[in-house]
Structure 1
Amino acid sequence: MHAAPALPLTRDIVLIGGGHTHALVLRMWGMNPLPGVRLTVINPTPSAAYSGMLPGHVAGHYTRDELQLDLVKLARHAGARLILGRATGIDRARRLIEVPGRAPIAYDVASIDIGITAEMPQLPGFLDHVAPAKPLDAFADAWDAFAANPPESPKIAVVGGGVAGVELAMACAHRLPQAQVTVYEAAPEALRALGTGARNAMLAHCARLGVTIETDAALIGAEKGRLLLEGDRTAEADFIIGTGATKPADWLPETGLDLTDGFVTVGPTLQSSDPAIFAAGDIAHLSHAPRPKAGVYAVREAKPLFANLRAAASGGAMKTYQPQRDYLKLISTGGKQAVADKWGLPLNGAWLWRWKDHIDRKFMAKVHDLPAMPTPPLPREHAQGIAEVLGSKPMCGGCGAKLGGQALREALSDLPAPARADVLSGPGDDAAVLSCGTQTQVFTTDHVRAFTEDPWLLGRIVALHAMSDAWAMGAAPQAALAQVTLPRQSEELGARTLREMLSAASEAFRDAGCDLVGGHTSMGAELTLGFTVTGLAERPLGQDGATPGEVLILTKPLGTGVILAAEMAKHAPGDVVAGALESMGRSSAEASAILAPIASATTDVTGFGLAGHLLGLCEASGVSAELNLAAIPLLDGAEALAEAGEHSTLLPQNIANCAGRMTAPPGPRTELLHDPQTSGGLLASVPAAQATEVLAKLEAAGYRAAQIGVIAEGPAFLRVR
């Protein structure tokens, strides 16, 4: 019996923003995806802070990691592509979402959950001197920096005497007991949303912590170190928190959607005035049942939104959402105590904190403890060797999905030497070197199995990766051809995917002075992308010029292979993955320009890892090398993941490829010498006298470059200390 073919993709659903509602939708989608839908989430950061635990974080009860919803892991769980960018507009006529710095994102159905801000930009000095409590991530960053190194007797001002403002004020006072914390409320009374009993309990906790509340104190501006209040009053403050505003995104009016006070107006199905666009969370105004901006509504909107997004893409029936009239407010009071308020009935005590903590941790467990989808079992009867080839983990993408070095050498060993006089290099070099009259041309090709669901990002990184061989040889890229295999999908989705990939690739090539002039596409089982590149060089660099006494310089940190492998398993933190993608998206053009006039031998560090590529350079040059293990730069999080047992599927072959040709101490850092890199750095052998100058130029150009070892006499061998 043949396996059922993967169903083609025909619809794009795009989630704009990584708010609480969308986070839960991603979790539910992973458990029950709709066949034929490509799901996308757009968010500026790889994680989003959970509002329910923010006061506890400010008070010091939760770490920053405990506060974060990891959108990278959620997207992997849902089979969605995560686009790290900030949406700034929607072209409804063309169904395109604008994200600066990249091609627009096409949608058939979209949902907005971008939250709100507490900014008051109309007030002089607010943007420069006030930390708005929303967006949560930016506020948490600002607070963490202040709380880590506060003045001797800090003065903290909280603008806004609602529940959120007073709760944060008490959290600040608990975290920094030496601080003078004051709440400034424009109205005659603070905490007006609470019943009398809960309000009195909150005021008693403020008195216990020394938090002062000033009413009839409207903010009119801010300066460095002080607030400007109505009535020509001022107040000193070392840190100012803004909670008194709820401001939606500025670009929403330009969409033409119906808005209420700037918020997207939605009905019982959470659809806006455009049936193809939904909205949820703080950014949505429930026209049929207006409610205050509260996380409890965002959480409960997830199930109907999930159902209705599926219905919109499949033609099914919509469900309605009717929010509860009131909800239980559990308000932390600095220490591990809380006040509760519902229907005017107050409760107070440490047991309420434990209840609130349980609720918050239960929510976070939902989005953190993502169930693993079981791997389909092998058929009862199968050919010998299948289990060994499959291994214990899914095949990696990028350079982790290539043939091992030993097998490749054996395959290439039967190729004949070049027969043409104008072909100056043979099999095994980084690129072919061709004689073209008085010039020298390099000719190279590379392609990878997709390692990200984002076609735009894939296009940029693979273009840079393909040019890497040319840059390693000191050549200026000249022209490129694309080779694309698209997964089975509708013509429209295929065109969208191709447009995104090639727009990013074309920009990367153009920045390098290279033209993307065409290529070939086909449909297949999965997305792969490659480019053939030509380049011109006055003095092509090879791997055969290194001499003893020279030093080795690496231009990028290692670790992309282990990070991409861990991301596939939902084990890599989102910020670690974002850092790896950023490194892969860094062009080596400037590094090549700096190294080419000085280096004696160069190579790029890609699929066979630093050790494998360095041994190749040593063999070509007839030398050995010594590495300083501690000096080798690593991507943030890479060593911790390697120590935890994460690794690329190509790692065992890379280690075997170097067996008997190197010595090194055991441990995760040594494993990373074999880690396959995608769009990795350049490795160059340069004269020792010029190493300091070269490193200074590379660092000034923005590279995390390092001197990692030396070239020594002797046959090709690598000693790592």
Structure 2
Amino acid sequence: MQVQIPLTRDLVLIGGGHTHALVLRMWGMKPLPGVRLTLINPTPTAAYSGMLPGLVAGHYPRSALQIDLVKLARHAGARLILGRAEGIDRESRRIRISGRAPVAYDIASIDIGITSDMPGLPGFAEHAVPAKPLDAFADRWEAFVEAVEARRAPPDVAVIGAGVAGVELALAARHRLGDHARVALIERARALSTLGSGARRALLRHLRQANVTLHEAARATEVTEDGVTLADGRLVPARFVIGTAAARAQDWLETTGLALTNGFVRIGPTLQSETDPAIFAAGDIAHMVHAPRPKAGVYAVRQAPILLHNLTVALTEKGRMRRYRPQRDYLKLISTGHRGAVADKWGLPLDGAWLWRWKDRIDRAFMRKFQDLPRMDPPALPDPVASGVAEELGRGKPLCGGCGAKVGQADLRAALADLPAPAREDVLSRPGDDAAVLAHGDGRQVITTDHVRAFVEDPWLLARITAIHAMGDVWSMGARPQAALAQIILPRMSPRLQAETLREIMAAAAETFGAEGADVVGGHTSLGAELTIGFAVTGLTEGEPIRQAGARPGDWLILTKPIGTGVILAAEMAREAPGEVVAAALASMARPQGQAARILAPVAHAMTDVTGFGLAGHLLTILQESGTAARISLAHVPILPGAEDLARAGHGSTLLPANRTVAAHMFLTEGPRADLLFDPQTAGGLLAAIPADQAETVLAALRANGTDAAVIGAVTEGDPFITVED
């Protein structure tokens, strides 16, 4: 019998910098049993700095330099928390994250990168863009190029700081914007002062040939919408100002009590903080006290195997830590904008297109480490096995989480067919109701339960989505959530990890239910094979609840959320869904529907929430309960970004085949978009039948409230049937 290894230690990586990205890649190939690995990063991707000048010059698309942290975390078996760290409580060993519960750690590592903004320069924040962080800079640059191409802005650029980064970006901008561009470099001292004389002369020649104006010994005193003002009063005209002269750490590190140098974490040769051996640091955010070096990606890359080894020693309390000894110098390949480069090492004046090709190969090889993640083969099935085992396992396809793990609608109805009708007078439930209905004084109480098999490793986010999912049945009946009981199954873990995980789950539950005026009043916990979270929820309504029966011919059908979560989650499990697509789906699932329900309830003839049986299955239930038909416009059904492309690529939830059985009651043209009508949703939107004369008003109110609702069709006369128009 295979033993389930309990989780006993928490390792938290703060930031998705190059060092941490490489650690995650190596960890996925040989994970340390018993460790819960967590990555905290504000965005689902991280940009590779070495290819930024190529992006600015137009040689690379944005996707070429993005490390997909969602795929990388799945490869490493790590939970990814999309949030911004804002502090470390070293006494309680918890990391504070904006907008959510703190995360506990036993060992933590910091690799959050730096910023090149200049808060001391008047007007910089309003009118300039720091080159770091890279993602924000890339977004602003592409928007500026688009404005120039549309003739909405002149192609005038100024770069503050004429070091290597500033020169690369100035030459790249000049190449991208063309001969009519005016590009200037501003340096308060001497340009390229850290380079050898040969490389410096070559780069200055490239600046002259590209007509980039260099202002040396010139101090910027203000940035305005017209450009950069210098200390001598001159104005350098610019509509896009780039800051590269500064290298600044994030301010929250000052609150940690860690020893810092100019805001950067002081570390020794083992990459541990001088102050706290439980905290490591790497990359640009670290100041190597034993061997100070300039900020450069080469050091971050070479720190990765040392960091992984030393984290393992700290987590196992076995073995000896290794020392990181950075090289004194390294080969710098500096791009010149036009697919050329200059080399700097040992004073060699190397220059030419062949150096660009060399640099391009190095950069692409680095990115392939994250684009072609090695796959670990699952254990083979024993031989022999009972007939049908391989088919039930989906021939290698993993079982989906969320509502993709539900039993099919037809099988569920068959199982419930012989359930006796309610015998009590105060039980008012009818077939097809989303929740049970109980008499409650002059009003009604509704009660429902739902649970979700984990599809993300973040218990806080899973709890929030599950709470919203569980409240869907209450909202769809026009009731207000009243109270909730939690049902939690934790994977086997140490008592301390149990307590920390439950703390995160209950914090999310209390916040999410509390926002709807409901109380979390207790629940039940147990240990099992995997994380599962559920809630039993009660709600109150003053009058009769809204049921699925009641839709009338002529009603408009309104949907309050886009569909596609099932296919996205299935593709993410297969490491095929882009990180930004997954992040958008999670954000949609984490968006509550209480306000939308309160707008819809006063006028809806029928309403339900779209969950496991897909949009088609839930709509057909309304039609069967109401004795009507419907016509929907596939083009007007809102779809989550990326969902249609993933369906076209052949991805789909394990529940999709069962959901497709309702197609017998439909007329539609087969295709990837049509497949999404059967896609199981987790924490999906509300589907309401609204009188046509009130639909526009209701739709406007929903959109004014921030709900991206859409009219997707209309109820018609006839037997229960759905006609799908392209």
Please classify the TM superposition score into its range, dividing by the shorter chain length. over 0.9
Matching residue of 1:171:
172
What's the CA shift for 1:428? Answer: 4.3
**Cα distance in 2, alignment partners of residues 248 and 619 from structure 1:** 61
What's the CA shift for 1:193? Answer: 1.1
Matching residue of 1:687:
691
Q: Secondary structure at the match of 1:251?
A: helix
Pairing 1:443-522 to 2, within 5 Å after superposition: 443-522=447-526
Among 659, 663, 670, the alignment partner of 2:667 is 663
The answer on whether the counterparts of 2:432 and 2:548 sit within 8 Å (CA) in structure 1 is no
Pairing 1:669-680 to 2, within 5 Å after superposition: 669-680=673-684
The answer on whether the counterparts of 2:147 and 2:153 sit within 8 Å (CA) in structure 1 is no
**Cα distance in 1, alignment partners of residues 168 and 98 from structure 2:** 36
Residue identity (%)? 64
The answer on whether the counterparts of 2:153 and 2:239 sit within 8 Å (CA) in structure 1 is no
**Cα distance in 2, alignment partners of residues 291 and 707 from structure 1:** 59
Among 309, 327, 330, the alignment partner of 2:330 is 327
- Which digits, 9 at most, give the CA deviation of each residue in 1:534-573, with x for residues without a partner? 0011231000000111110000000111111111111011
**Cα distance in 2, alignment partners of residues 125 and 214 from structure 1:** 20
What's the CA shift for 1:233? Answer: 2.9
**Cα distance in 2, alignment partners of residues 132 and 652 from structure 1:** 50
Q: Secondary structure at the match of 1:336?
A: coil
With normalisation by structure 2, the TM-score equals: 0.98
Matching residue of 2:557:
552
Among 642, 646, 655, the alignment partner of 1:650 is 655
What's the CA shift for 1:153? Answer: 3.8
The answer on whether the counterparts of 1:225 and 1:239 sit within 8 Å (CA) in structure 2 is no
Matching residue of 2:282:
280
Among 126, 136, 142, the alignment partner of 1:144 is 142
Matching residue of 1:375:
378
Paired AA for residue 351 in structure 1: W
Please say if 1:93 is aligned against 2:96.
no
**Cα distance in 1, alignment partners of residues 722 and 357 from structure 2:** 57
Runs of 4+ in 1 over 4 A off after TM superposition: none
**Cα distance in 1, alignment partners of residues 371 and 103 from structure 2:** 27
Among 68, 73, 76, the alignment partner of 1:75 is 73
Among 379, 397, 417, the alignment partner of 2:421 is 417
Q: Secondary structure at the match of 1:642?
A: helix
- Which digits, 9 at most, give the CA deviation of each residue in 1:289-336, with x for residues without a partner? 111100011111111011111111001221111111111000110011
Paired AA for residue 311 in structure 2: L
Q: Secondary structure at the match of 1:228?
A: strand
Matching residue of 2:579:
574
Among 565, 586, 595, the alignment partner of 2:591 is 586
Among 115, 127, 132, the alignment partner of 2:125 is 127
Mark the CA change 1:706 to 1:152 in structure 2 (over 3 Å): closer, same or farther: closer
Any gaps of 5 or more consecutive residues in structure 2?
none
Pairing 1:15-54 to 2, within 5 Å after superposition: 15-54=13-52
Any gaps of 5 or more consecutive residues in structure 1?
none
Please say if 1:716 is aligned against 2:720.
yes
The answer on whether the counterparts of 1:412 and 1:427 sit within 8 Å (CA) in structure 2 is no
Matching residue of 1:365:
368
**Cα distance in 2, alignment partners of residues 405 and 308 from structure 1:** 51
**Cα distance in 2, alignment partners of residues 696 and 525 from structure 1:** 46
Q: Secondary structure at the match of 1:149?
A: helix
Pairing 1:306-325 to 2, within 5 Å after superposition: 306-316=308-318, 317-325=320-328
Aligned residues: 717
Paired AA for residue 538 in structure 2: T
Q: Secondary structure at the match of 1:660?
A: helix
Matching residue of 1:246:
247
The answer on whether the counterparts of 1:608 and 1:675 sit within 8 Å (CA) in structure 2 is yes
Pairing 1:395-434 to 2, within 5 Å after superposition: 395-426=399-430, 428-434=432-438
Matching residue of 1:564:
569
The answer on whether the counterparts of 2:432 and 2:625 sit within 8 Å (CA) in structure 1 is no
Higher mean C-alpha deviation, range 253-262 or range 48-57: 253-262
Q: Secondary structure at the match of 2:608?
A: strand
The answer on whether the counterparts of 2:154 and 2:239 sit within 8 Å (CA) in structure 1 is no
**Cα distance in 1, alignment partners of residues 703 and 338 from structure 2:** 46
Please say if 1:601 is aligned against 2:601.
no
Paired AA for residue 376 in structure 2: M
What's the CA shift for 1:259? Answer: 1.1
**Cα distance in 2, alignment partners of residues 251 and 120 from structure 1:** 17
Pairing 1:207-356 to 2, within 5 Å after superposition: 207-273=208-274, 274-316=276-318, 317-356=320-359
Paired AA for residue 613 in structure 1: H
Among 168, 183, 189, the alignment partner of 1:181 is 183
**Cα distance in 2, alignment partners of residues 216 and 472 from structure 1:** 67
Q: Secondary structure at the match of 2:340?
A: strand
**Cα distance in 2, alignment partners of residues 61 and 711 from structure 1:** 52
What's the CA shift for 1:661? Answer: 1.1
- Which digits, 9 at most, give the CA deviation of each residue in 1:649-687, with x for residues without a partner? 11011002x042111101011100000000000000001
The answer on whether the counterparts of 1:160 and 1:184 sit within 8 Å (CA) in structure 2 is yes
Paired AA for residue 129 in structure 1: H
The answer on whether the counterparts of 1:16 and 1:43 sit within 8 Å (CA) in structure 2 is yes
**Cα distance in 1, alignment partners of residues 719 and 336 from structure 2:** 69
Please say if 1:541 is aligned against 2:539.
no
**Cα distance in 2, alignment partners of residues 720 and 462 from structure 1:** 31
**Cα distance in 1, alignment partners of residues 496 and 576 from structure 2:** 34
Q: Secondary structure at the match of 1:673?
A: helix
Paired AA for residue 179 in structure 1: A
**Cα distance in 2, alignment partners of residues 305 and 469 from structure 1:** 48
**Cα distance in 2, alignment partners of residues 659 and 101 from structure 1:** 42
Paired AA for residue 40 in structure 1: T
What's the CA shift for 1:234? Answer: 2.5
**Cα distance in 2, alignment partners of residues 95 and 307 from structure 1:** 22
Q: Secondary structure at the match of 1:597?
A: coil
With normalisation by structure 1, the TM-score equals: 0.99
**Cα distance in 1, alignment partners of residues 155 and 432 from structure 2:** 64
**Cα distance in 2, alignment partners of residues 221 and 483 from structure 1:** 58
**Cα distance in 2, alignment partners of residues 112 and 331 from structure 1:** 28
What's the CA shift for 1:426? Answer: 3.9
Q: Secondary structure at the match of 1:552?
A: strand
- Which digits, 9 at most, give the CA deviation of each residue in 1:189-237, with x for residues without a partner? 2011111111111111111211111101111221222212213332221
Q: Secondary structure at the match of 1:103?
A: strand
- Which digits, 9 at most, give the CA deviation of each residue in 1:24-74, with x for residues without a partner? 111011001000000001111000110000000000000011111110110
**Cα distance in 2, alignment partners of residues 385 and 278 from structure 1:** 50
